[in-house]
Amino acid sequence: MLSRTADHLYWMARYIERAENVARMLDVNYRMSMVPQADGGIDAGWGATLSITGLEDAFRAKHSAATMESVLEFMVFDGTNSSSIMSCLRMARENAHAVRGTITSEMWETTNDTWLKMRDYPRWKLAGSEIGEFFEWVKFRSHLSRGVTLGTMLRDEAFHFIRLGTFLERADATARFIDVKYHMLVDGAAPPDTAADYYQWSALLRSVSAFEVYRKVYRDMITPVKVAELLILNDQMPRSLRTSLDEVFENLSALSNYRSSETERRAGELHASLKFGRIEDVFTRGLHEYLTQFIVRVIDLGNRVSEDFLVPMSSN
Amino acid sequence: MANPSSIYDEMNSADGTVRSHYAGYKKWLAETPPERIAQKRAEADLVFHRVGITFAVYGEESGKERLIPFDIVPRIIPAQEWKQLAAGLRQRVKALNMFLNDVYHDQEIIKAGHVPAEQILSNSQYRPEMQGVDVPGGIYAHIAGVDVVRAGAGEFYVLEDNLRVPSGVSYMLEDRRMMMRLFPELFSRYRVAPVEHYPDMLLTNLRAVAPAGVIDPTVVVLTPGAYNSAYFEHAFLAQQMGVELVEGQDLFVRDEHLYMRTTQGPQRVDVIYRRIDDDFLDPLAFRPDSMLGVPGLLQVYRDGHVTLANAIGTGVADDKSIYPYVPDMIRFYLGEEPLLNNVPTFMCRKPDDLAYVLSHLGELVVKETHGAGGYGMLIGPRATKEEIERFRQLIIDTPDRYIAQPTLALSACPTFVDAGIAPRHIDLRPFVLSGKDINMVPGGLTRVALREGSLVVNSSQGGGTKDTWILEV
């Protein structure tokens, strides 16, 4: 396969996944904002979503304060913000357009249709109670896109590059979710054992579609350690770091070429650390340090994938 | 302009009765509720949008994509008529390839005095780089899109031979797919010759012209990129043939061969179906500012290590200043009389012709010899006084750049327009493939001028398309 084609497939998948994660992150904030909390808690929550994405500076250049309205405008519609849902879906569509001969017509039509609908999405719908519907819509378009990939694509190189992009992006996003939310919760705006605390934890779980999963796995009350264990180490939880790295490692192995052995080794090492790791050790080391380290290693894998297979970042 | 009543209508004869090959369709149209037709037309629009069968229009807001209007009334051609047409196309394309081989080798046609040397050698489309280069099978125009119009029953004229990078075949295929989706019942009433095997035929053809000694050739489609007006077609053909769609940046020359960059390292490329003009193919040989081509490609090509389809320098044979000589080429190379008519053409570089053209501008069609796509042309009977005067000056200043032809009474085909169904002028572009032998799928792309009375069918000028049916019986 052409390196450029692989590059487009990989980034198409990353942008779709990114749009979904931005929607999930905004959705959980929106849900949390309905929970009674201390003064300033709501705006602090919107500010935190910006720090997850590392976009505080770009945001401050345009908006004076992080409120629900300003953050939504910036993270949903702002075409100059490369991480906004609008930008992600546009980039997904542009990458798909460049390789429409390689993906199935169903995949192209899904991606194109998502972009056309997003471009024309009525903004007034985000002002009121229908905002939740919008986030659901973004998530479902992402589900649809994954489903179409699984349901129509030949299991060839193209498929593996798409899956690799999806799961590297997801590993990165889930790690950031846990990190920021966890610290907000533990360092705490909300005192423990209050109703607010419970809702905050459950909102974090919901943001990764893990609320019912948690109940099923633990049949117990919600505790920080168990939440972390579920989202980091659980091999059955589809958005956990462990599952993401299962997929990264597997797809990378399938793509193996004449110069990718070091990248595979690093992916294998990170995968093994999740497969055989214990949550107690994670906490002994410090959750924040652990996640920071994890994110650095995922970024390194992304760079190495570009160097080994795709169009190297430096020439973009 | 021809008298409207003398225009040949594809569906209805002059006495108002329906032509026999359209009888079944007309009956179906009468029986089908208008609401269903309206609903199907809306469905067609929706599907074309969703599938993204669009083209970019130069000169409009950048990146803007537009649909080519699709009309649901098919253009039907009886079997016997197609047989004649196909024979004429084979003959013509065969002679054109022999002409190209000749002008880049021994130039017998010049020596024999049929075409003046300066008409060929000082033509900007003539590529001296190709002199003495042997291409596989002596084939230059592997894909030809010959534009044909009908003036009367059995009376076909060739308007132009597109031998560089003719486009439109994807619309031919998509129009058929759309018709079968919208109106499957019509295909049980009519035995319509299939066209869906075109990509297979194209691939077979491209593999057949690989450099000598290559057993299992790697074929690619070379595109200028996603912003090109015909990008949809490039991607479509690559996908349908199951080959890579490459851009210049994906290719490089090493050790006298051509390679593409893949995820598994460099891979040899043997045949390029290129959809880039000559000028942009190789910045070392042609336009140095081209970002679309591959440095060093020309040398690899001249050494016979890669095949380009179409070959470099085919423009010298489809140039409008060479067009008047095609009937002579057929006689010279094949010893046959041409089966298809040429439109009588006045060459403004000839003083007698020039004088005639200048005094009859109001009734002639004036074309730029190197123009394409319906840009830079004057349709006398439809033009304003100012336009005519502007062209008069242009022709006087550079007579070499213009030819003129009488206005043909292009046939018309009933077409859905705002006011209902009305006749609109059409042409036909069959795609003729040359490799080991000459092949084509029955039919081609029918283009229709949607504005009343308009003779310009180009999509860039608001033309639409129709499905073309060649009947099997």
> Which residue, among B467, B408, B382, has the nearest Cα to B68 in the 3D structure?
B467
* Assigned token pair, A76: 């949903």
Q: Do B263 and A97 touch (CB under 8 A)?
A: no
* Closest Cα in chain A to B54: A97
Domain count for chain B:
1
Which of A260-264, A266-270, B336-340, B400-404 comes out lowest in average pLDDT?
B400-404
CA distance A165 to A247: 10
Q: Do B50 and A98 touch (CB under 8 A)?
A: no
* Assigned token pair, B313: 């320098």
In B287-411, the DSSP E strands lie at 307-309, 341-342, 346-347, 364-368, 377-379, 402-406
Does the pLDDT value for residue A315 go beyond 60? no
pLDDT given at position B1:
42
Q: Which residue has the tokens 């169903």?
A: A106
A256 in reach of chain B (CB within 8 A): no
Residues B367/B403, Cβ–Cβ less than 8 Å: yes
Amino acid identity of residue B323, one-letter, is: Y
> Which residue, among B224, B266, B260, has the nearest Cα to B243 in the 3D structure?
B260
* Assigned token pair, A165: 């992009």
Tell me what the mean pLDDT of segment A79-106 comes to. 92
Does the pLDDT value for residue A273 go beyond 60? yes
> Which residue, among A290, A310, A171, has the nearest Cα to A225 in the 3D structure?
A290
β partners of residue B413 = B424
Show residues of chain A in contact with B225, CB under 8 Å.
Answer: 98
Amino acid identity of residue A27, one-letter, is: D
CA distance B390 to B48: 39
* Closest Cα in chain A to B235: A101
> Which residue, among B464, B54, B461, B51, has the nearest Cα to B230 in the 3D structure?
B54
Question: Could you give the strand order of the β-sheet that contains B402-406, starting from the edge strand earlier in sequence?
Answer: B346-347, B402-406, B364-368, B377-379
* C-alpha atoms less than 13 angstroms from C-alpha of A113 in its C-beta half-sphere: 17
Residues B457/B449, Cβ–Cβ less than 8 Å: yes
Question: What are the distances in angstroms from CA B330 to CA B97, B114, B468?
Answer: 11, 11, 28
Instruction: Give the DSSP H/E element, type plus range, for residue B274.
Output: strand B271-274
Q: Do B244 and A310 touch (CB under 8 A)?
A: no
Centroid of chain to Cα A186: 22
3-state SS assignment for residue A95: helix
A5 in reach of chain B (CB within 8 A): yes
CA distance B380 to B395: 14
What tens digit of pLDDT does each residue of B4-50 get? 557 899 999 988 899 999 999 999 999 999 999 999 999 988 888 77
For chain A, the average pLDDT equals: 89
Q: Do A258 and B263 touch (CB under 8 A)?
A: no
pLDDT given at position B2:
45
A304 in reach of chain B (CB within 8 A): no
Q: What is the DSSP letter of B416?
A: E
CA distance A110 to A131: 22
CA distance A140 to B158: 53
pLDDT given at position A162:
97
Domain count for chain A:
1
CA distance B448 to B464: 5
Does the pLDDT value for residue A189 go beyond 60? no
B220-258 per-residue burial string, b: 16 or more CB within 10 A, e: under 16: bbbbbebebbbbbbbbbbbbbbebbbbbbbbbbbeeebb
Q: What is the DSSP string of B24-59?
A: HHHHHHHHS-HHHHHHHHHHHHHHHHHHT-EEE-TT
Confidence class of residue A113 from pLDDT cuts 50, 70 and 90? very high
Which of A50-64, A104-118, A257-271 comes out lowest in average pLDDT?
A50-64
CA distance A271 to A294: 11
β partners of residue B347 = B403
Which of A263-272, A302-311, B63-72, B358-367 comes out lowest in average pLDDT?
B63-72
B3 in reach of chain A (CB within 8 A): no
Q: What is the DSSP string of A154-184?
A: -SSHHHHHHHHHHHHHHHHHHHHHHHHHHHH
Residues B467/B175, Cβ–Cβ less than 8 Å: yes
What tens digit of pLDDT does each residue of A12-66 get? 999 999 999 999 989 888 877 776 666 666 777 788 788 777 888 899 999 988 8
* Assigned token pair, B304: 């016979």
Q: Do A101 and B236 touch (CB under 8 A)?
A: yes
B63 in reach of chain A (CB within 8 A): no
Confidence class of residue A201 from pLDDT cuts 50, 70 and 90? confident
Tell me what the mean pLDDT of segment A120-141 comes to. 86
* Closest Cα in chain B to A161: B263
Residues A239/A166, Cβ–Cβ less than 8 Å: no
Identify the domain containing residue A117 by its residue range: 3-315
**Residue A75 — φ and ψ, nearest 5°?**
-90, -15
Identify the domain containing residue B362 by its residue range: 4-470
pLDDT given at position B60:
42
> Which residue, among B356, B348, B359, has the nearest Cα to B321 in the 3D structure?
B348
3-state SS assignment for residue B403: strand
Which residues of chain B carry a pLDDT beneath 50? Answer: 1-2, 57-63
pLDDT given at position A244:
98
Min Cα distance B34 → chain A (Å) is 29
CA distance B463 to B456: 7
The pLDDT > 70 percentage for chain A reads: 91
* Assigned token pair, A81: 């913000």
Q: Give percent helix, percent strand, percent coil of chain A, each to the nearest 5.
A: 75, 0, 25
Top residue of B263, B268, B269 to mutate, by most chain A CBs within 10 Å, is B263
Tell me what the mean pLDDT of segment A168-176 comes to. 95
Does A180 or A205 have the greater pLDDT score? A205
